[in-house]
Amino acid sequence: MSNIEKAVSLTNYFVSLPRATYLLVAMLLLSLFLGLGISLVTGVPIPETIPTAIFVLAIPGFLAIVLGKALMPRVPLKRLAATALAGALIFALSYMAAVSLRHFSTPISGEVIFAGAAIVFVTWYIIARIVFVHKWRSLLFAMLQLFLQAAFLIMDGFLPMGADPINVLIKFYLSSFVLLGAIFIFFLLINAPMKRTFGVASTDAVSMFFSQWFYDKKDIENAFRKVGETVTTYLSLFLFRRKDGDYALIVPCVHFGPFGNLGGSNFSHLIAEELDRKHKLKSMVFHGSATHDLNPVSASELRKVVDACSSIIKDAKPAPSKVSFCASESPDAIAEALIFSKNKSAFIGLSRAPKTTEDISLGMGMALMSRAERMLDSATIADEHNAETGEIKYVEPGTKMGFEYLAALDSALGSKQVPCKLEAGFAFGASDSPKIGPAGIKAAVFGTTPHYAIILIDSNGVTPTFRRKIMNSVESLFRAKAWGKVVAAVYTTDTHKVNSVRGVVNPLTDDAILLEQISSLIANAKEDMREATFDSKKVTLDIRALGAKQAIEIISTINAIVAISKVAAPILIISGIIAILWLMYRLG
C-alpha cells in the first residue's frame, strides 16, 4: 500500500450515525442489560437492579446530552447522543467489572469505577475538543459531565464508594486528571511532527478539518496559506463563437480539491459561473493534468484563473476552422483528440478505463503535450477521470501508465483524420444527485467523422460499469435516430465539492434517472449543432497551491503520526489507568 493509500485509508473509520432516537433507545437498552448483568452476578432481584442501572447510567447520559446541547448548540443531537452512548458503554463495563470484583471480594473493586469514569471523561473531552471543535468549552463540559456521573453514582448507593461524598467526588476528579495528563502527553507527541514541519499542531489541524466538514468554516485555509507555495501551471481555452453566443472548453491544470468548500474544490462550477457573469460565456471546465499538489490554498485563487480566461477571451479572434477527430487503438490506454485547423491546436482526452483512471501529474501532462506538439502547434491534455475502481494510482513520469498514455497519444495522432466543417452543439443541465456538484451535467457534440459526443459530469469520478452504460446509451440513441456513428466520451471534473469523508472518493454509480437525463442532454446537443468560428490559446499562470513538496510531506507526516499513535496511545492510556488504580488504592 502506498503512502497516499495509507493516509486515505484512515477515512474508512468514518461512519454515518443513526438517528438520535435510535441512539437514545440504545442507551436505555444498555441500562437494561446492565441491570440484568448485576442481577446475575449478585443475585439481587431484577426489579431492584434495573432501576439502579437506569439511575447510574441512562439518566446521567441523557442529562449530559442536554448539557452538551446547551453548551455546544451547533453540535447536532445525534453526535452528542452517539458520544453519550459510547461513554455509557465504557461506564457500564467498568460498573459491571466493579460489581463483579466486589462480589468476589477483590481489593480494587471500587478503584475500577474511578478508572472507568476517567476514560469517559477524556472521551468526552477529546471529542468535544477535536471533533465538535470547542477548544475551551470541551474541558468545562467534560468536568460537568463527570460531576453528573459521580453524583448519581454516589446518590444511588448500590455500589458503596465511601462515607464522605466530597471525598469521593475529589477522587473522581483526581483520577480523571491523571488520565487527562496522559492524554496531554500523547497530544505533545503527535503534535510535534506537524508543528515542526508546518507550524500547525496536529490536533488543531484535525479540529479545523472537522470545522470545515461540519460547519463549512474555512479556518484550515489559513494553515494551507502558511505551507503553500507559488506554482506556475497551464490554462487552455477553446472558444466557439456561434450566432447565438459563445461557448468554451476550458482546461485549467489546477486540481479541484482538497474537499468541501476549501481551495479549488468547487472551481469546476465557480469558473464557469464567473465567466458566464462577466462574458455571457457558456463553458465546460475539465480536469487538467494536476494532482493534489496543485490544490489552490484558498478559494480566492479563483480570481487568477478567471482573469487569465478573461484575457484570452478579450484577445480572441475567432475565425472559420476545420475540425477532425482521431482516437487511439492502444489496448492499455485511450487517447481521443479534436484537432482544429486554426492554430493547429488539439483538445486531447485521456483515459485508462475500465482500469483505474486517476490524476495525471503536471510533469506527465507536460511530457504528453510536448510529445503531441511534435505534430501540432498547441496541445492540451484533459484527464477524463472516468474509471474509479478504489485504487489511487497517479500517472507520473517514469510510470508504466505514463508510457501507455504516450503510446496511445502517438497512435491517435498518427491515425487517419477527416477534416470537417466545424459544427458544435451544447446542452447543460443541473442535477439533484448528491454525487453531482453544482456544475451539473454538460454535453457537447461535434460534427466530426465520426461524431464526438462529450459528457462532462461534475462528479468525483464514475465507476467503469456506469461509464460503459452511458456510452452504450449514447450509441443506441444515435443508431435509433439514424444520426450516424458516434464516439461517446464520459469525462468527470473530479470535483472534491461532493466528496464523502469516508474513503475520500464518491464516484457516480448506476443511476437510471441520470442515464435518462444524459441521453436527453446529448439529444439536445445534437439538435443544437450550429456552425461556429473558433480560436484557442494556452497560457501559463501563477497560483498559490499546496505544492509538490508540501503534498508529499503532509502524507509522510500523517503516516508518521499514525505510526507514533499506534505505539504511544496504548502505552499512555494503559499507564494512566494503572496509575489511577494504584493511586485510588493507596488513598483507600
Q: What is the per-residue pLDDT across 48-104, written as a single tens digit (0 to 9) for each? A: 899 999 999 999 999 999 999 999 998 989 999 999 999 999 999 998 988 888 877
- Provide mean pLDDT across the span 136-154: 91
Q: In whole angstroms, what is the distance from residue 96 CA to residue 88 CA?
A: 12
- Residue 11 is assigned to a structural domain of this protein: no
296 upstream amide cis, omega within 30 of 0: no
Do 402 and 507 fall into the same domain? yes
pLDDT at position 157: 72
State the chain's mean pLDDT as an integer: 88
Q: In whole angstroms, what is the distance from residue 287 CA to residue 255 CA?
A: 7
- Residue 1 is assigned to a structural domain of this protein: no
Side-chain half-sphere CA neighbours of 148 within 13 A? 25
Which range has highest mean pLDDT (92-101, 265-274, 278-287, 329-338)? 278-287
262 vs 444, higher pLDDT: 444
Do 31 and 49 fall into the same domain? yes
Residue 13 has pLDDT above 60, yes or no: no
Instruction: Give the 3-state secondary structure of 41-87.
Output: HHCCCHHHHHHHHHHHHHHHHHHHHHHHHHHCCCCCHHHHHHHHHHH
pLDDT at position 548: 60
- Residue 432 is assigned to a structural domain of this protein: yes
pLDDT at position 502: 44
Confidence band of 144 (pLDDT split at 50, 70, 90): very high
pLDDT at position 447: 96
Q: CA distances (Å), 477 to each of 70, 518, 525, in order? A: 58, 11, 12
Give yes or no for a contact between 451 and 443, defined as CB atoms under 8 angstroms apart.
no
Amino acid identity of residue 159, one-letter, is L
Give yes or no for a contact between 526 and 445, defined as CB atoms under 8 angstroms apart.
yes
Which range has highest mean pLDDT (31-35, 96-100, 133-137, 225-229)? 31-35
The total of structural domains in the chain comes to 2
Do 262 and 326 fall into the same domain? yes
Residue 272 has pLDDT above 80, yes or no: yes
**Which residues neighbour 48 within 8 Å (Cβ) at sequence distance 6 or greater?**
39
Strand order in the sheet with 281-285: 281-285, 245-252, 229-242, 533-545
Confidence band of 307 (pLDDT split at 50, 70, 90): very high
Closest C-alpha to 107, from 501, 582, 454? 582
- Provide mean pLDDT across the span 319-347: 93
Residue 322 has pLDDT above 60, yes or no: yes
Do 406 and 508 fall into the same domain? yes
- Residue 454 is assigned to a structural domain of this protein: yes
Largest distance between two CA atoms of the chain? 96
Give yes or no for a contact between 264 and 301, defined as CB atoms under 8 angstroms apart.
yes
Q: What is the per-residue pLDDT across 382-397, written as a single tens digit (0 to 9) for each? A: 999 999 887 778 899 9
506 vs 550, higher pLDDT: 506
Give yes or no for a contact between 180 and 122, defined as CB atoms under 8 angstroms apart.
yes
- Residue 207 is assigned to a structural domain of this protein: yes
- Residue 3 is assigned to a structural domain of this protein: no
Side-chain half-sphere CA neighbours of 432 within 13 A? 1
- Residue 221 is assigned to a structural domain of this protein: no
pLDDT at position 271: 95
Confidence band of 260 (pLDDT split at 50, 70, 90): low
Q: In whole angstroms, what is the distance from residue 483 CA to residue 473 CA?
A: 14
Do 369 and 401 fall into the same domain? yes
pLDDT at position 212: 67
pLDDT at position 211: 73
- Provide mean pLDDT across the span 445-463: 96
Do 334 and 257 fall into the same domain? yes
Closest C-alpha to 413, from 381, 388, 455, 447? 381
Confidence band of 196 (pLDDT split at 50, 70, 90): confident
Domain extent at residue 559: 18-214+554-587
Residue 4 has pLDDT above 50, yes or no: no
pLDDT at position 14: 59
- Residue 154 is assigned to a structural domain of this protein: yes
Do 336 and 378 fall into the same domain? yes
Do 360 and 405 fall into the same domain? yes
- Between 20-24, 79-83, 217-221, 507-511, the lowest mean confidence (pLDDT) is in 217-221
Do 464 and 578 fall into the same domain? no
**Which residues neighbour 431 within 8 Å (Cβ) at sequence distance 6 or greater?**
440, 441, 514, 517
DSSP structural state of residue 263: T
> Is-above-0.95 flag for pTM?
no
- Between 99-108, 337-346, 432-441, 516-525, the lowest mean confidence (pLDDT) is in 99-108
Q: In whole angstroms, what is the distance from residue 20 CA to residue 6 CA?
A: 32
Q: Which three cell numbers stand for residue 279?
A: 462574458
- Provide mean pLDDT across the span 362-390: 94
Give yes or no for a contact between 69 and 132, defined as CB atoms under 8 angstroms apart.
no
**Which residues neighbour 445 within 8 Å (Cβ) at sequence distance 6 or greater?**
424, 425, 451, 452, 453, 454, 486, 522, 525, 526, 528, 529
- Provide mean pLDDT across the span 463-479: 96
Q: Which residue has the cell 450550429?
A: 530
Do 559 and 411 fall into the same domain? no
Q: CA distances (Å), 56 to each of 17, 79, 81, 91, 430, in order? A: 25, 21, 17, 9, 53
Do 569 and 506 fall into the same domain? no
Confidence band of 299 (pLDDT split at 50, 70, 90): confident
- Provide mean pLDDT across the span 408-418: 93
Confidence band of 545 (pLDDT split at 50, 70, 90): confident
Residue 269 has pLDDT above 50, yes or no: yes
Residue 503 has pLDDT above 50, yes or no: no
Do 168 and 260 fall into the same domain? no
